[in-house]
Structure 1
Amino acid sequence: MYGDLTSGHLLGELPATALQLTEVINAPGSIEVTIPNNPALLPGLSEHDLEEGATTLYVERDGVILQPGCILWSTEITLGGQDVILRGEGFHSYFRRRLLRTNLSFPPTSDRALILKTLLDHAQAQDGGDIGIRTDLIRPLGATSERNYLGYERKTYGHLIELLTDDQYGFCFRYVSRWDAARSRISTHIEIIPPGVGPNELVFDLARNCALAGRVIRDGTLRANRADATGDGNGDEMLIETAVNPHRGRLPLLDRVESYYSITERTTLRGKAEALLLRGAESVIVPTLTVDPDADPRLGSYGTGHSGRFVAQLGLLDIDAAYLVSEIRLTVSETGEDVQVSLATDIPTVS
């Protein structure tokens, strides 16, 4: 389906011949839709109806709008004249294209979820900046933070939101689109997901609802027992906070550093360093699974940021642990549907 970004109204359906929809944790996600370049199959449709930056794309399956709803950003017409390929990104991509131009300050008692809400409301309160993302369902998380945003730095709202999620008090967010019968349009709100929250009985079991495909990677490349987080400033005036784990076990000294140029408070920067250290304590186990979209849990009943369990006993692989859903990828082609789900133990680092 396609629609108008600013009004939220649906304009019609598109006869897709191929589709790939990807939802990514704390990121825009993406869509790629192939439609025939054949006016007979696209009655009444012109290139002006699919204007980049002004058009929305949605995928509906069994009456459920799969996430993310996306904004069309580019169109490719093959020279052979057979296909039109539409490419877009989730609604968060819009806020990566919007700059904060005024100062905003939040005291240390400010709830992070409400900071996020203020940023989105501030972006959409400006003339021409309202794309209809609802924030009225956001509730306090109980995790507080100080923030001082300076307009002259011209940071994007999207990046500032992503930085709120990234430390030991982090959280996940996703944009959720649903049909609003009262207004005869699709309504989109942002959902804040605290750690450990997910649908009941969200279990991916290699013996029950996952194919013997995909892979599980144990990645130790980001292991660290000393972590530096650098913030605002230059030279000797740059803010630096260091976190150290004295219990190295069999590991030698391993360093890691990340830059957070927009952070001006030491307490916030300290939280970033501690998060790097926590994430570097163990190798990261990253499962990527091929799942049956019609088996429980059904595609559309869970999303990125939701917590569940991964169970697998296969040779050296012996796992029964809690994970976050970090990516969902749906591919539809002439041969059928393919759904891959990637899991993670932590919220991804943002720099």
Structure 2
Amino acid sequence: MTTPAPIHQYTFLFCDLITDRILAELPVQQVEYSTELNGIGTFSGMIPLNDQTAPLAPMAATIPGRTMLYVDRDGVIVWGGIVWTRKPLTAAYGVYGMHIQAAELPSYWQHRYVNEILSTDPGVLVANGADGRYVPDGQRMYDDQAWILWSLLRYAGADITGAGDIHVDTNPLVNPTGVTRVRTYDASQRPAILDLIRQLSEVDGGFDWGVEVGYNADGSRYRRWQVYYPRRGRSASATGFMFQYGAGGNALTYEWPEDGTLLANRAIALGAGQGQDVVIGQAEAGDQFPAGWPLLETVTKYDQVVEWNTIQAHAQADLYAHRSAMTTPTFTVLADADPVLGSYTVGDSAIFAIDPDGYYPNGYAAELRIVSIKVSYSGGPETVALTCTGA
């Protein structure tokens, strides 16, 4: 006799983005939500518009750009983000629902920019007549890479309008990584703050980052920035996790795309400057040429970088990211198959295995790192798509 799948209780809380005041608890159907490592997970779903939902004022509770959505699964907040889009769903008989899309909290800083010079170097600030006090009172940033992130967020939150703070706790960032950086951000370029965070984290010796959401002991909700150094997550040996596609395995399907269009064995990083004065870094996978590989190059611009050591670290990181064909396999599993949803997180590694088949005649097994978790829920058993990279 087959054991029926557990029924999980989902609650969708729509709150004011700034005050976190609950606006409504609304039913949502056809739900998909994802969490990304060092990225922005998304949410999509359909809210019925009918006599049952009308008293809940769904239009007032889902205004794009100012509404926070929390996804509660069995009393645990598993996702949180900002509602950015909505649209009516219509049929011949009229409007029957509203489709919404949301993105995790870091998406807010895609919409915030550096509007005055910021630097870790007091000499640069003096030369530009800037306020040499530390952010948020002035324009000087602390130099540990976690503190640079803290400085960018505190700068954004201290906007003169008083509306630049969406109350995501930055206190966890006060713990240093021990890695210092020299950074100057030129206001004339108006760089997006999230772009600067990405660049800072992706340099050789960088860090993982994200925003965690959940319940406090008193039932209120928290939002916390986190830096994970040197990386987020646990090894496969620490977790014992294994996902297997094949007879008796816990994986339903797998996809294994390989993209050679982004392959590169020479990475060139361009920093600040014009013409012959551009700061340039370069890194090569010299072992590939004797092995028969053609020269393949990639060029990336980092307009805010003025230090050669920094731009060279970017080149090394870019080479590492591009030196093999872009392979991001995805395994789809049931949420309640062991290991169950909630026991793993992005950044964790696991053994992923494939029984012999037409694509892998000898089978496959390796430790891979989970970089994306996407959950699909339509009222029945949930499925989870785990996208991975090399561990």
TM-score (norm: length of structure 1): 0.89
Matched, 1:147 2:205: no
Per-residue CA deviation, residues 132-172 of structure 1 (Å, 9 max, x unaligned), is 11111222223322111122321111111111111221322
| Residues 1:25 and 2:37 are matched in the alignment | yes
2:154 pairs with 1:112:
no
1:274-330 Cα shifts (integer Å, max 9, x gaps): 1122233334432201122123433233332x2312331422265544433211111
Percentage of matched positions with identical amino acids: 29
Q: 1:289 aligns with which of 331, 336, 341?
A: 331
2:48 corresponds to 1:36: yes
After superposing the two structures, state which structure 1 stretch, 233-242 or 204-213, moved more: 204-213
Matching residue within 226, 229, 240 for 2:266: 226
Alpha-carbon spacing, 1:296–1:164, altered in 2? closer, same or farther (3 Å): farther
In the other structure, the counterpart of 2:127 is: none
Partner amino acid for 1:264?
V
Contact 2:26 2:58 in 1 (8 A): no
Question: Are residues 167 and 238 of structure 1, via their aligned partners in 2, closer, same or farther at CA, if it must alter by over 3 Å?
Answer: same
Paired residue secondary structure (1:247)? helix
The code of the aligned residue for 1:30 comes to: T
More helix by share: 2
Residue matched to 1:62 = 74
**RMSD over aligned Cα atoms:** 2.4
Structure 1 runs not aligned, ≥5 long: 347-351
1:107-133, CA deviations, whole angstroms, 9 ceiling, x for partnerless residues?
A: 599221121122112211221111111
Please state whether the residue corresponding to 2:337 is helix, strand or coil.
Answer: coil
Residue 341 of structure 1 and its aligned partner are, at CA, apart by: 0.9
Equivalent residue number for residue 314 of structure 2: 272
Greater RCO structure (CA 8 Å; 6+ sep): 1
Higher mean displacement: 76-85 or 38-47: 38-47
Cα distance in structure 2, aligned partners of 1:46 and 1:252:
57
In the aligned structure 2, how far is the partner of 1:204 from the partner of 1:106?
44
- Cα distance in 2 for partners of 1:192, 1:209 equals 35
Q: Contact 1:132–1:187 (CA<8 Å) still a contact in 2?
A: no
Q: Which runs of 4+ in 1 moved over 4 A?
A: 317-320
Gaps of 5+ in 2: 1-12, 122-140
SS at match of 1:279: helix
For the structure 1 residues 272 and 71, does the alpha-carbon distance in structure 2 shift closer, same or farther, using more than 3 Å as the test?
A: same
Q: Which has the greater radius of gyration?
A: 2
Choose from 91, 96, 113 the match for 1:99. 113
Asked whether 1:85 is paired with 2:99, we answer yes
Q: Is the 8 A contact 2:24 2:58 kept in 1?
A: no
Q: Which deviates more from structure 2 when the two are superposed, residues 39-48 or residues 173-182? A: 39-48
Q: For residues 213-243 of structure 1, give each alpha carbon's deviation from its aligned partner in whole angstroms, at most 9, with x where no partner exists.
A: 0212344433322221112233323222111
- Map 1:70-219 onto structure 2 (within 5 A): 70-79=81-90, 80-107=94-121, 110-126=143-159, 127-138=162-173, 139-182=175-218, 184-199=219-234, 200-201=238-239, 203-206=241-244, 210-219=250-259
Matched positions, count: 343
Residue 49 and residue 12 in structure 1: after superposition, are their counterparts in 2 closer, same or farther (change >3 A)? closer
8 Å CA contact 1:9–1:185 kept in 2: the answer is: no
The answer to whether the aligner puts 1:11 opposite 2:23 as a matched pair is: yes
For residue 307 of structure 1, the aligned residue among 340, 343, 348 is 348
